[in-house]
Amino acid sequence: EREKLSRLKNTPAVTLDGQKIELLANIEQPDDVVGALKAGAAGVGLFRSEFLFMGRNGRLPDEEEQYRAYRRAVEGMQGLPVTIRTVDVGADKPLDRSAARGDDHLNPSLGLRAIRWSLADPAMFLEQLRAILRAAAHGPVNLLIPMLAHASEIRQTLALVNRARDQLTVADVPFGEVRLGAMIEVPAAALTIPLFLRHFDFLSIGTNDLIQYTLAIDRADEAVSHLYDPLHPAVLQLVASTIAQARAQGKGVSVCGEMAGDVTLTRLLLGLGLRSFSMHPSRILAVKQQILRSDTGKLAAWAQTVLQSDDPAALLVD
């Protein structure tokens, strides 16, 4: 079976009715691009940059170290696009597990994580933004912002991106242009998509967190893991409406949470209009196999019945 799948590596990801589907890789370190290319990925859809920051006893990578890491990933992808997400530490990805701060009674998932953490220290965030812009001089780069929920966060973030560009210009340091994207992973964001479409070039749906926050289920808590349900109708509605609104405006939209790599959900996501999936490289060929067997024309009507159902899982069995 694995051998059969590996033969699909160079087969274009196109549905029976001729829809081209973009299959991208999620990576954590620059060297992961090797696996991404091996799996036939069309690019990196999610470079989780926080892995450069974690487990270092609080000594964070400076602009140069980050620039070298991002450039390595960009050059490694040989002209294919690399989507670099700014730091998403906190909650399930603590900077340093040993650095207990006596605030265990608080909920880190609802605390200072991701873009909130970055905006709390603009000098540090600017270092990361400059490093990413500089890496963009070496190949196509998309800049992706995690956990946005408020218009004020969008404004501050975009102002800092502009400031980083200005700083590089003044210092005469070469940099490249980037496409700007927002993660949709908080229900508040999924419910205000027009705001995001006004400010960003593309959206990327982080279903891992979107499920967690929609259902009030800690994604890391095994005591409630049986309630962590990608097929809850509320989750599906948010995913579906995000895809539909982005497509209606001709903007790119991708799913980069675990749902994208789950072969039991491929046809449903295609039916909801998704044409770009980002996943662990090991999932790409199996998802491609599903795509090659799918007819999006037929799936669209079926997906609407799944959306209306009280029990979507029952409709997913082949």
Catalytic residue numbers read 256
- Give the residue among 244, 255, 257 at the shortest CA–CA distance from 303: 244
* Options 13, 24, 48, 271; binder of ligand PEP; rule CB under 6 A: 48
Say which entry of Mg ion, ligand PEP, none residue 207 contacts (CB below 5 to 8 A, set by partner kind).
ligand PEP
Three-class SS state of 144: strand
Spacing of C-alpha 51 from chain mean position: 14
For the purposes of burial, counting CB atoms within 10 Å of the CB of 213, is it exposed (0-12), middle (13-18) or buried (19 or more)? buried
Q: Are 308 and 30 in contact (CB under 8 A)?
A: no
For residue 141, what are the contacts with CB-CB under 8 A and spacing of at least 6?
Answer: 70, 74, 81, 82, 83, 84, 132, 135, 176, 178, 179
Interaction of residue 276 with ligand PEP, rule CB under 6 A = no
CB 45 within 8 A of CB 278: yes
Residue 206 binds ligand PEP (CB under 6 A): yes
Q: Which does 237 bind (CB under 5 to 8 A by kind): Mg ion, ligand PEP, none?
A: none
Of 207, 214, 266, 289, which one interacts with ligand PEP (CB under 6 A)? Answer: 207
Give how many residues touch ligand PEP by CB under 6 A: 10
**Residue at 95: amino acid letter:** L
CA atoms lying within 13 Å on the CB side of residue 16? 10
Segment near ligand PEP (CB under 6 A); pick from 63-71, 203-211, 267-275, 292-300: 203-211
**Residue number with CB closer to ligand PEP (207 or 276):** 207
Which of 63, 127, 153, 209 contacts ligand PEP by CB under 6 A? 209
Q: Return the number of the residue (279 or 306) whose C-beta is nearest ligand PEP.
A: 279
Q: Is 209 in the site for Mg ion (CB under 5 A)?
A: yes
- Given the rule CB under 6 A, which residues bind ligand PEP? 46, 48, 88, 185, 206-209, 256-257
- Given the rule CB under 5 A, which residues bind Mg ion? 185, 206, 209
